[in-house]
RNA sequence: GUGGGUGUAGCUCAGUUAGGUAGAGCACUGGAUUGUGGCUCCAGGUGUCGCGGGUUCAAAUCCCGUCACUCACCCCA
């Protein structure tokens, strides 16, 4: 086969869709209990939106965007969800109608990176945004919500990394201090980090290269250079988390690549399951200046995003019970017509029905009934047509009975209602 | 963009060291059972051995090139 899907963009086949649906339902349930409401924004936005919000220097903007020109517009497949949501928030004047807004979204994002385990070019994110609350209590509540959500999913071993970046001036001040610390050991740094020294020194803190890690030993902490208000915000956040009993790890080296963050910054890392090297299950932070920079009022905001593929890797395997269904096995054209009618009657009673109309042998139809985990099979052949009955087989009990055709649907529905839900689908 | 690993049946993989008729399990179809599933037994494969070239009497196996997938780096969900 010479036609393949695009690299890094994956199909989700029905065999694994159950896990996706359960994850999505759990997310919606959790955030809606926190009074978030869903927002759906386009997959395509003006390129300028991402350049302005994420920042020209960020890797996402520099080399990972799917951008194209169409009829004179410069467009981009969204690489993340926060920018589009903020754009919609501003465009519809939401701030003027309500002082406090909680939104969530769920959908695919696109980044033209080299794929690997847990990182794909089309990947799914679920995220939340709160507009109009300066924190820090809401920051704590959001982090606590995430930790609770992970626990609900059965993802046990997660660590909340927490940091504060202060305001824009803090970043500049700290960058200078960091360069002062690293410059003397410049020769010992990795090539990447030598370059970062001039472009974005904070990123050196994030490097996994042992040489860089060593060089960062003893580097000043960004928390030490926060101004008074930022420091008070961070301390209050920690106190709220303590009060909630939500464990966290203060990590002054947490940086993250999006340039729009201010003050609170967090990332949740996992370790179990099939997770590969990409162990950031989710991350977020405060972006108090974004709404204003997009032309809106001065509204503080905080948000996070979760990577659904990574959550699925980290989640324990589960076997979902298959809902009961009825397989109908007709023999011959007349019986097939009768089968279609009976199936419609069953579906009107809320019973899933599967008509095997391939015209194969009874044996093959019953084999299929077993394969699809049907609870009940119905045989309609020449004999049944003559007698005006159908043969109803309870596949688990190895029992069968003949029922008048007119009562068939009700009889089957009663049989199913009495039966224990059983069987499990291959995952 | 950089580095490693892997490409053999629909799927998971043996077979490559030492060149010699292309295999197993699962899945699928039929039969044993003329209209009765799961278990068992029997039968059923024309697979571009990723692709192209080279060496050789002979290449899945050796050599060169190329493509794809995958893991990791950078960075991020």
Round to a whole number and report the distance in Å from the CA of A56 to the C1' of B70.
32
ipTM value for the complex = 0.87
Return the closest-CA partner of residue A162 out of A268, A270, A301, A272. A268
**Which secondary-structure segment (H or E) carries A377?**
strand A376-380
pLDDT at position A175: 82
Q: Is the CB of A60 under 7 A from strand B?
A: yes
A420 band by pLDDT with thresholds 50, 70 and 90: low
Q: Model's pTM, two decimal places?
A: 0.90
Burial of A288 (0-12, 13-18, 19+ CB in 10 A): buried
A409 band by pLDDT with thresholds 50, 70 and 90: very high
Q: Is the CB of A7 under 7 A from strand B?
A: yes
Question: What 3-state class would DSSP assign to A407?
Answer: helix
CATH class of A14-167+227-314: alpha beta
Note the pLDDT tens digit of each residue in A303-316.
Answer: 999 999 999 999 98
The four Cα atoms A189, A193, A196, A200 give a dihedral, to 10 degrees, of -100
Round to a whole number and report the distance in Å from the CA of A427 to the C1' of B35.
33
Q: Is the CB of A396 under 7 A from strand B?
A: yes
Chain A 75-114 residues in 7 Å CB range of strand B: 80, 111, 113-114
Nucleotides of B under 7 A from a protein CB: 1-2, 28-31, 33, 35-38, 48, 68-77
Q: Is the CB of A312 under 7 A from strand B?
A: no
Q: What is the DSSP string of A267-335?
A: EEEE-STT--S--EEEEEEE-TTHHHHTTS----EEEEEEEHHHHHHHSPP--PBPPPEEEEEE-SHHH
Q: How much is the average pLDDT of A390-411?
A: 93
Note the pLDDT tens digit of each residue in A294-305.
Answer: 999 999 999 999
In the predicted model, is pLDDT for residue A427 greater than 50?
no
Note the pLDDT tens digit of each residue in A58-70.
Answer: 888 888 999 999 8
- Which residues are registered as beta bridge partners of A127? A105, A305
Q: Is the CB of A388 under 7 A from strand B?
A: no
Nucleotide showing the shortest C1' distance to residue A331 CA: B35
Q: Is the CB of A129 under 7 A from strand B?
A: no
Contact yes or no for A274/A310 (Cβ under 8 A): no
CATH of A325-419 among 3.40.50.800, 3.60.15.10, 3.20.20.70, 3.30.300.180: 3.40.50.800
Round to a whole number and report the distance in Å from the CA of A106 to the C1' of B48.
43
A424 band by pLDDT with thresholds 50, 70 and 90: very low
Return the closest-CA partner of residue A159 out of A147, A149, A148. A147
Q: How much is the average pLDDT of A34-55?
A: 94
pLDDT at position A243: 97
Q: How much is the average pLDDT of A403-416?
A: 94
Q: A103: Cβ–Cβ under 8 A, 6 or more apart, which residues? A: A36, A37, A38, A39, A85, A89, A128, A129, A130, A131
Return the closest-CA partner of residue A255 out of A290, A224, A221. A221
Question: What 3-state class would DSSP assign to A373?
Answer: coil
The per-residue b/e assignment along A259-280, b for 16 or more CB within 10 angstroms, e otherwise, is: bbbbbbbbbbbbeebebeebbb
A187 band by pLDDT with thresholds 50, 70 and 90: confident
Contact yes or no for A421/A323 (Cβ under 8 A): yes
Locate A182 and state its tokens: 């690293």
Q: Is the CB of A422 under 7 A from strand B?
A: no
Note the pLDDT tens digit of each residue in A332-381.
Answer: 899 999 999 999 999 999 999 999 988 888 888 999 898 888 999 999 99
Average pLDDT over chain A reads 89
Round to a whole number and report the distance in Å from the CA of A2 to the C1' of B20.
33
Return the closest-CA partner of residue A390 out of A347, A351, A341. A341
Round to a whole number and report the distance in Å from the CA of A6 to the C1' of B55.
38
Nucleotide showing the shortest C1' distance to residue A310 CA: B77
In the predicted model, is pLDDT for residue A188 greater than 80?
no
CA angle, residues A272, A276, A281, in degrees to nearest 5 = 65
Nucleotide showing the shortest C1' distance to residue A305 CA: B77
Round to a whole number and report the distance in Å from the CA of A424 to the C1' of B31.
30
| Angle of the A82-91 helix axis to the A47-54 helix axis, nearest 10 | 110
A43 band by pLDDT with thresholds 50, 70 and 90: very high
pLDDT at position A2: 63
A220 band by pLDDT with thresholds 50, 70 and 90: confident
In the predicted model, is pLDDT for residue A197 greater than 50?
yes
pLDDT at position A177: 82
């Amino acid at each position: 086969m010479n036609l393949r899907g695009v690299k890094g963009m994956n199909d989700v086949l029905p065999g694994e869709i159950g896990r996706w649906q359960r994850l999505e339902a759990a997310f919606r349930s959790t955030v809606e209990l926190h009074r978030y409401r869903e927002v759906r924004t386009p997959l395509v936005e003006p390129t300028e939106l991402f350049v302005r919000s994420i920042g020209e220097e960020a890797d996402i903007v520099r080399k990972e965007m799917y951008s194209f020109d169409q009829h004179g517009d410069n467009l981009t497949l969204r690489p993340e969800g926060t920018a589009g949501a903020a754009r919609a928030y501003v465009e519809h004047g939401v701030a003027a109608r309500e002082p406090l807004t909680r939104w969530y979204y769920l959908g695919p994002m696109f980044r033209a990176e080299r794929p690997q385990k847990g990182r794909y070019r089309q990947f799914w994110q679920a995220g939340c945004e709160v507009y109009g609350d300066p924190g820090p209590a809401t920051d704590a509540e959001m982090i606590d919500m995430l930790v609770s959500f992970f626990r609900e999913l059965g993802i046990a071993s997660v660590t909340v990394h927490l940091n504060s970046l202060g305001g824009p001036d803090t970043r500049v001040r700290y960058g200078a201090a960091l360069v002062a610390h690293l410059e003397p050991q410049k020769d010992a740094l990795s090539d990447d980090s030598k370059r970062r020294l001039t472009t974005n020194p904070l990123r050196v803190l994030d490097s996994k290269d042992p040489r860089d890690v060593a060089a960062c030993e003893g580097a000043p902490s960004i928390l030490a250079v926060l101004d008074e208000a930022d420091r008070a915000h961070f301390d209050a956040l920690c106190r709220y988390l303590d009060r909630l009993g939500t464990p966290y790890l203060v990590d002054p080296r947490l940086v993250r690549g999006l340039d729009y963050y201010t003050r609170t910054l967090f990332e949740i890392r996992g370790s179990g399951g099939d997770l590969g090297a990409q162990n950031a299950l989710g991350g977020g932070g405060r972006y108090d200046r974004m709404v204003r920079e997009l032309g809106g009022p001065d509204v503080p905001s905080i948000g996070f995003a979760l990577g659904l593929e990574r959550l699925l890797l980290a989640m324990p395997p589960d076997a979902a019970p298959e809902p009961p269904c009825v397989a109908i096995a007709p023999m011959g054209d007349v019986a097939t017509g009768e089968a279609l009618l009976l199936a419609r009657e069953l579906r009107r009673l809320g019973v899933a029905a599967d008509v095997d109309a391939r015209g194969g042998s009874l044996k093959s139809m019953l084999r299929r009934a077993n394969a699809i985990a049907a609870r009940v099979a119905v045989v309609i052949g020449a004999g049944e047509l003559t007698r005006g009955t159908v043969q109803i087989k309870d596949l688990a009990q190895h029992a069968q009975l003949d029922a008048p055709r007119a009562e068939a649907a009700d009889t089957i529905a009663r049989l199913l209602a009495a039966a224990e839900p059983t069987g499990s689908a291959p995952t």
